[in-house]
Amino acid sequence: MIKINKTPDFSKGLLPAIIQDYYSKNVLMLGYMNEEAFQLTLKEEVVTFFSRSKSRLWKKGETSGNFLNAVSVDVDCDADAILIKAVPVGPACHKGTDTCFGEFKNISTDLGFLEKTIQDRKNNPSDASYTNSLLQKGINKVAQKVGEEAVELVIEAKDDNDDLFLNEGADLMYHYLVLLAAKGFELNDVIDVLREREKK
């Protein structure tokens, strides 16, 4: 079950629930929850709302298959608004757009898009996937590839070919993220370590 920072106060009725993409950090949609919808979301780790128009619980994606897999839940300071970070399965909006604020695509501006792809390859093995074939070879092989790419980046850093330098940097970053996934971690876990160091 997903942990929460505090219990929401449903004494005044339905509470707004903001859904944010776990990777891209973009806001996907806004829905409403009663206590039953909230508890079901925590238990099943799939976002469930209370539909005001249908007057019933509504699991997002129940007809379309475009579920919102909940990763984390935070309740605001007054306990009357909920923020859920989720991984969307398909478009978040019933009109087919990535978000219910359809003016933009839900594209990550950080490395979340790559982490999402790597995790998908890990969870859904495919013989055609380089990522999957690398993961299947085990930690030693993945770690070896990180070492090889690091050496190649260092070599290119000493030359003047910016294109080769940037490409080797991309290769190193990709293989490092694969190593993190193989070890069961995410880039955010590394960022947490760096933030803790900043406090010292």
Residues 6+ away with beta carbon under 8 Å from 84: 17, 18, 19, 20, 41, 47, 68, 70, 72, 73
Angle between helices 162-182 and 139-157 (to 10 degrees): 160
State residue 104's pLDDT score: 66
Residues 81 and 117 in one domain: no
Domain's final residue, options 48, 71, 106: 106
Whether 84 and 147 share a structural domain: no
Sheet with 68-75, edge to edge strand ranges: 27-33, 15-21, 82-88, 68-75
Mean pLDDT of the 56-80 span: 95
Query: Is the same domain home to 8 and 60?
Result: yes
145-187 pLDDT, tens digit each: 999 999 999 999 999 999 999 999 999 999 999 999 999 998 8
In angstroms, rounded to a whole number, what is the distance separating the alpha carbons of residues 80 and 49? 15
CA angle at 24 for the pair 118 and 100, rounded to the nearest 5°: 125
More confident: 127 or 45: 45
pLDDT band at 108 (very low <50, low <70, confident <90, very high): low
| pLDDT for residue 23 | 82
Is 103's pLDDT higher than 80?
Answer: no
Residues 119 and 97 in one domain: no
Residues in the chain: 200
Q: What average pLDDT does this structure show over 47-68?
A: 95
Residue 135 has a pLDDT of 95
Give pLDDT, residue 3.
85
In the three-class reduction of DSSP (H, G, I as helix; E, B as strand; rest coil), residue 69 is classed as strand
pLDDT for 78 equals 95
Q: Residue 81: what pLDDT? A: 97
* pLDDT (mean) for 17-36: 94
Domain count, the chain: 2
Among 106, 128, 158, the domain-final residue is 106
Clarify whether residues 56 and 116 are in a common domain. Answer: no
Structural domain harbouring 57: 1-106
The CATH number of the domain where 185 resides is what?
Answer: 1.10.287.1080
- Across residues 7-22, what is the average pLDDT? 95
Contacts of 104 (CB under 8 A, 6+ apart): 26, 98
pLDDT for 35 equals: 97
C-alpha to C-alpha distance for 134 and 78, rounded to whole angstroms: 47
Cα torsion through 165, 166, 172, 178, rounded to 10: -160
Q: Is pTM beyond 0.85 here? A: no
Per-residue model confidence (pLDDT) at position 42:
96
Q: Is the predicted pLDDT of residue 19 greater than 70, yes or no? A: yes
**3-state DSSP call for residue 199?**
helix
